[in-house]
Chains A and B, each alone.
Chain A
Amino acid sequence: MQESKAKVFLRNPFCRALVVSKRPMMREGLQFMMKERAEKSSLILCENYLDIRPEILLQIDVVVIELDSTLQEIFEACDFFNQLQNQHRQVEWVFTLPVNLVNIAIERLLTAKTALLSLHEPMSRIIEHVFNSGGQTERISRLLLQEKAVNTSDITVTNANLTFSERRVLRLLSKGWQLTQIATLLEKSYKTISAQKSSAMRRLMLKTDAEMYAWMISVHGMQELNLPPYHQGI
């Protein structure tokens, strides 16, 4: 880390910060980093965002938050942050977040005093955001947008036109049933079910079983089969 120790201009070396992260090592890392750069700075460590109290926020310049809720919880969290953002307008907010939350964060959290950073942001960028509060900094980090672009680029939408029984077979397969079990359940021959599966795969231009299962857990596949989005985890 020799190169990152080079002196950078710190606009606010007396910065008072608050960090919220569920990961202790991340909190300690920030604490250590701030102490090393500016001895006069201070940092409060929090594990859960619900621990942020208004009276604490009055004494704080920058809040660094690591977003890592599931999709179900994120909206609640956003509402909570919005409220605080409205009440404490002097505070700078820095969020670090994974790619899957980018859209929600841009929509819900972005204000003139907010910055969104990627989890893999280089040290220099983090320092800039913590110590240069009020200065000209990027609102949404370029790295984060790059990651997002990589993630969304390979979606190809093919129009499926599956028949009812093909869809039914695929849906059962996606629940972990075997072809023979499906045949027994639907009181059809194994060959019928197998034919329906292979014609569905032909329509979807899938060559192997592995591709088929990959399609099933993709966003497009789940829409096509009408599967609930959150229960597909491994």
Chain B
Amino acid sequence: MENIISTNSLPGKIMVVVPCVLTAAGIVHRLKSMPKIHKLVSNIKRIDEAYGEVLKATDSLVILNISESSTQLAEEIKFINWCRTVQPGAAIVAYTRNHKLSVLNYISALGARVIISQYESSSTFTDLILKSFSSRSMLSSPMIKNILDTRISGELTVCEVQVIGQLFLGHNVSQVAQSLGRDIRTVSAHKRHAMEKLGLQCEKDLHVLGCALLGK
């Protein structure tokens, strides 16, 4: 690990969006104890407040809690999706309690910069955060690597996210094709590629993931 952090690779702001106050306090305390970074850290308790904050700075790093319960998971996924389209400069650090393979796959396919398990020790956590400043590729903590293992065949493209987002809502392929103004074969290919990337075997896997992400 490099101890010297070059100032130009630092993000403009580090936001901690973790609803569990104790965990948030732990993270903030850790990050503030590091030189150079301590001024950048801010603690945001609720995810709805994070939207405005992300808009203010173009190059922020958002440490986002990924929870297990599906209602909150849906909110968090929505936020990542929103960041991707509205503020591509913002990097997401998924700080996850949720260790389900397909959810992790989906998050990594959405282009999160780092995925860290909440069960990882605090030194691993700070190491990864420091590394993330300079690295352009996706990082994940040892536990997450174990789960994700060999796969990661690439990020989902914008079209693929759009298509499977609509499929999750319960539209079928032909409806999606019509609403996007594309050929059914195009949409079907998007769907197939997305499912491959996410490691989903069958229709059922896709919809179960959809339920988890939409909070049903």
Contact surface of A with B, Cβ cutoff 8 Å: 1, 22-33, 68, 98-100, 119-123, 126, 150-151, 173-178, 207-214, 217-218, 232-234
Contact = CB atoms under 8 A, between A and B. Distances in A.
Contacts of A174: 204
A178 to B, nearest CB: 7
Contacts of A100: 69
B40 interface: no
Interface of B: 19-30, 43, 68-69, 71, 97, 100-103, 118-122, 125, 167-172, 201-205, 207-212, 216
Contact of A211 (B23, B170, B201): B170
A25 B69 contact: no
What DSSP secondary structure best describes chain B's contact surface?
helix
Contacts of B120: 24
B200 to A, nearest CB: 9
A191 B13 CA distance: 58
Nearest to B72: A120
A18 to B, nearest CB: 14
What DSSP secondary structure best describes chain A's contact surface?
helix
Contacts of B29: 28-29, 32
A23 B23 contact: yes
B119 A121 contact: no
5 contacts: A24-B119, A29-B21, A29-B27, A126-B21, A210-B167
Nearest to A120: B19
Given A29-B24, A98-B69, A217-B208, A234 B103 contact: yes
Given A23-B119, A28-B122, A178-B203, A213 B27 contact: no
Q: Which of A24, A126, A177, A212 has the most CB of B within 10 A?
A: A24
Given A22-B119, A26-B20, A32-B29, A210 B69 contact: no
Given A25-B27, A120-B19, A234 B209 contact: yes
A213 B119 contact: no
A32 B26 contact: yes
Q: Which of A100, A212, A217 has the most CB of B within 10 A?
A: A217
B113 to A, nearest CB: 18
A46 to B, nearest CB: 14
Nearest to A173: B204
Q: Which of B23, B101, B121 has the most CB of A within 10 A?
A: B23
Given A120-B20, A207-B170, A217-B208, A32 B202 contact: no
A89 B119 CA distance: 31
